[in-house]
Amino acid sequence: MDLAHDLLVDLAADRLDLVVSAIRPTHHALLAVPLADPPSMARTVDADRLRTAPADALAALPLVAYGEELPILRRYRRSEFGHRPINPVALVAPDLRAVLAAVEAGAGISALPRYLVEPAPAAGRVIQLHCSEAPPLNTIYLPVRRGAPANPALTVARERLTDAAAGWGEL
């Protein structure tokens, strides 16, 4: 099962109040209202303007953000266009998978980590509107408390994460 299906099951079971889904619900207890067709929103962007002035071409499209301060979008826009986004914010979701689901459902555009979004364009669920020449740096840290007593389980976990990260490359 995938995330969208699981969320719809939880909605039908009254464990959630609202779900933005990229798949049409089939459960008899659910009523679905289409929000938008994702490709149609992407097709409203002028292709010539997107090539010559991408920030301007994307400025009117609503944003789907990870946090109210637009942490990922803000970093991406500053890195790529030299300024914060000016777009209207359509939705804030504190989970990147929810942001992706909202984008897939047509709620707006976003900037998401490649590891999360990679299958969506290949499956035709989203369209990549802008491609940076050099992906923005998004360093991930593994902090520990200074002077804390050594915990063998944490030491092993830290070592395994550090070893695994060596093979991650760019996220």
Mean pLDDT, consecutive 10-residue stretches, the chain (171 aa), reads 78 86 81 65 85 92 93 91 92 93 90 88 86 72 77 88 80 56
pLDDT for the residue 138 = 65
User: Would the pTM of this model clear 0.75, i.e. be above it?
Assistant: no
pLDDT for the residue 53 = 93
Q: CA 63 to CA 71: how far, in whole Å?
A: 12
Which residues lie below 8 Å from residue 110, measured CB to CB, with a gap of 6+?
63, 64, 65, 66, 72, 73, 99, 100, 102, 103
Helices first, then strands: H and E counts in the chain = 9, 2
pLDDT for the residue 135 = 65
Q: CA 160 to CA 61: how far, in whole Å?
A: 41
